[in-house]
Amino acid sequence: MTGQAEDGGLFLPAEIMNVKDQLATWQQLSYTDLAFTIMHLFIDDIPSGDLQHLIASSYSGFTHPEVAPTKAVGDLHILELFHGPTLAFKDYALQFLGNTFEYVLQQEESLNILVATSGDTGVAAIHGVLGRNGIKVFVMHPRNKIAHLQYMQMATVIDANIHNIAINGTFDDCQRLMKAVFADLQFKQTYNIGTMNSINWARILAQMVYYFYAYFRVIESSGKIGAPVIFSVPTGNFGNILSVYLAHLMGLPVAKLILATNDNDILTEFFNHGKYTRGTVHHTPAPAMDIQVASNFERYMYYFYKGDSQAVRQFYDKFDRSGCVQIDKHSSSPVDPLFVSHSINTEKIHSTIRSTWEKHGYLLDPHTAIGVEAAKNYIGNVPVICLSTAHPAKFPQVIDAAIGQDLARHPQLQALEQAKHKCTELPADIDAVMDFLRQHA
Ligand SMILES: *Cc1c(COP(=O)(O)O)cnc(C)c1O
């Protein structure tokens, strides 16, 4: 339930069990049975039957029978993670989180969830708590600064427990306001305010499932259990790729992780040169990855420093002070032999969307295109699985700019155009936000 530990650190499992011997049995499982089997290893305070039920109901609204299908596109395998209610991969974690919050609350009181968003997270959070008892959600977005479709996906949800707030400011203002609310411990406690942001451990856990699932589907056709695969992951806050990193620590056979970024290449610089330097945020056609400092990277650093918390603390102290850390390494050796990383610019995003459409008749969303382009150099004997993190119809302008045709459609999104919408406008002012919460929480 708690996003962050009281000392400001992030939670990790005390033990990471090795599951290599179980992979052959797991191969037979359906998505939800696999999800139960994996998540049960880390959850000991929800009875099995209840956990099974929570998982089943979390994925019952997904529109594909396999939940997370893998498709062959040219020499690559595309893991489609857009079959949930908001058409982006965040549904795989946030549907479960919304259900679990509701379940835990049955014994306790009500919860008010505060979210700052530049798009996808807010949409998925709203749909994660939709119709759940005892939970209200307050989503702040920068007014007129998010994609129109994402605004409509949020604001057309007019249920009484959903509050969309358009802040007259930037996304940074929204994050600053959220932090200010959380810093007021008295207020936070009085109104029982929680969050669903990407540092929540349950999100990382729920995301591990589709890596195992995709591994089994791809290996079924091309090899036998134990043979390695490569994953290419379009990365922003390092949440999705952290899930596969942990799956690998558990024994999932991974030969390489391709960390794909857009012009915001701070993580690419780290894995290629050992240099971690804060820059300014570049706006790209893949806005969910327009992030400089990835919040989940801290979790990876714990394993990078082999569990030495002191070293992690020093790394982050130095980064906070100077905005730049260079780690010690031999110039010829990689920072981490498991990772390779590539930064893909806007022109390449467009050309990859175009060429994939022309060659294979398959439409990529701009985030997915980044992972696909980064994966091109690794096609060979080891199967490459690219994560498709959103449906292309969420980004019609980008598809249009790339291909010159208005091809990206989804009936669910088209229906939104006519729907009623509701949103409250507030100044970028902490008193105004707190007043609103007092009135509605
Ligand atoms: C959130 C998001 C990402 C980035 O995922 P992280 O877990 O933050 O690295 C990539 N693509 C899409 C479409 C997203 O919504």
Q: What is the pLDDT of residues 102-143, one digit of tens each?
A: 998 866 678 999 999 887 889 999 999 998 888 999 999 999
Dihedral sign for Cα 392, 395, 396, 402, please: negative
How much is the pLDDT for 194? 86
For 216-267, the pLDDT digits (tens) are 999 997 778 999 999 999 999 999 999 999 999 999 999 999 999 999 999 9
CA distance 198 to 121: 8
The tokens for 293 are 């400092």
How much is the pLDDT for 330? 75
Of 162, 161, 127, 122, nearest in space to 141 by CA:
122
CA distance 228 to 219: 9
The tokens for 439 are 């009135």
CB atoms closer than 10 angstroms to residue 152: 17
How much is the pLDDT for 209? 98
Backbone torsions φ then ψ of 32, nearest 5 degrees: -70, -35
Burial label for 408, CB within 10 Å (0-12, 13-18, 19+), is buried
The DSSP line for 164-198 is: EEEEES-HHHHHHHHHHHHH-HHHHHHTTEE---T
Choose the residue to mutate in 240, 299, 388 for probing ligand 1, maximizing ligand atoms within 8 Å of C-beta.
240
CA distance 342 to 386: 14
For 57-70, the pLDDT digits (tens) are 999 999 999 999 99
Of 335, 340, 399, nearest in space to 364 by CA:
399
Residue 179: is its pLDDT beyond 70? yes
Distance 344 CA to ligand 1 centre (A): 15
How far apart are the two ends of the chain, measured CA to CA in Å?
18
CA distance 257 to 254: 7
Per the CB < 8 A criterion, the answer to whether 286 and 262 are in contact is yes
Which residue(s) pair with 275 in the sheet? 326
The tokens for 95 are 């549907």
Catalytic residue among 71, 90, 306, 394: 90
How much is the pLDDT for 5? 78
For 300-314, the pLDDT digits (tens) are 999 999 999 999 999
Local structure of residue 305 (DSSP, 8 states): T
- Confirm whether 90 is a catalytic residue: yes
Q: Say if pTM beats, i.e. exceeds, 0.85.
A: yes
Alpha helices for 156-296 (secondary structure H): 171-183, 185-190, 201-222, 239-249, 266-273
CA distance 58 to 398: 31
CA distance 417 to 291: 29
Stretch among 44-48, 57-61, 234-238, 413-417 having the lowest mean pLDDT: 413-417
How much is the pLDDT for 107? 63
How much is the pLDDT for 108? 60
For 197-207, the pLDDT digits (tens) are 888 899 999 99
Query: What Cα–Cα distance (Å) separates residue 286 from each residue in 113, 126, 208, 263, 327?
Result: 26, 21, 23, 10, 29
Residue 407: is its pLDDT beyond 80? yes
Distance 64 CA to ligand 1 centre (A): 21
The tokens for 371 are 């992972």
Choose the residue to mutate in 237, 242, 245 for probing ligand 1, maximizing ligand atoms within 8 Å of C-beta.
237
Strand 339-343 relative to strand 254-261: parallel, antiparallel, unpaired? parallel
Residue 6: is its pLDDT beyond 90? no
The residue behind tokens 């991974």 is 254
How much is the pLDDT for 131? 87
- Going by C-beta distance under 8 Å and a sequence separation of 6 or more, which residues neighbour residue 278? 266, 292, 293, 319, 323, 324
How much is the pLDDT for 329? 77
How much is the pLDDT for 224? 86
Residue 145: is its pLDDT beyond 90? no
CB atoms closer than 10 angstroms to residue 425: 11
Distance 439 CA to ligand 1 centre (A): 33
Which residue(s) pair with 259 in the sheet? 233, 341
Per the CB < 8 A criterion, the answer to whether 97 and 58 are in contact is no
Per the CB < 8 A criterion, the answer to whether 141 and 178 are in contact is no
Burial label for 133, CB within 10 Å (0-12, 13-18, 19+), is exposed
Length of the chain in terms of residues written: 441
Residue 19: is its pLDDT beyond 90? yes
- Going by C-beta distance under 8 Å and a sequence separation of 6 or more, which residues neighbour residue 292? 264, 266, 278, 279, 280, 281
The tokens for 300 are 């990876």
Residue 192: is its pLDDT beyond 80? yes
Query: What Cα–Cα distance (Å) separates residue 377 from each residue in 131, 354, 398?
Result: 45, 18, 24
Atom of ligand 1 lying closest to residue 367 CA:
11
How much is the pLDDT for 378? 98
Choose the residue to mutate in 79, 86, 90, 341 for probing ligand 1, maximizing ligand atoms within 8 Å of C-beta.
90
Q: Tell me the mean pLDDT in the region 39-68.
A: 96
Would you place residue 195 in the very low, low, confident or very high pLDDT band (cuts 50, 70, 90)? confident
Distance 435 CA to ligand 1 centre (A): 32
Backbone torsions φ then ψ of 176, nearest 5 degrees: -65, -45
Instruction: Enumerate residues lining ligand 1, CB below 6 A.
Output: 88, 90, 120, 198, 234-240, 288-289, 367, 389-390
Q: CA angle 198-79-22, nearest 5°?
A: 85
Per the CB < 8 A criterion, the answer to whether 191 and 205 are in contact is no
State the chain's mean pLDDT as an integer. Answer: 93
CA distance 37 to 28: 12
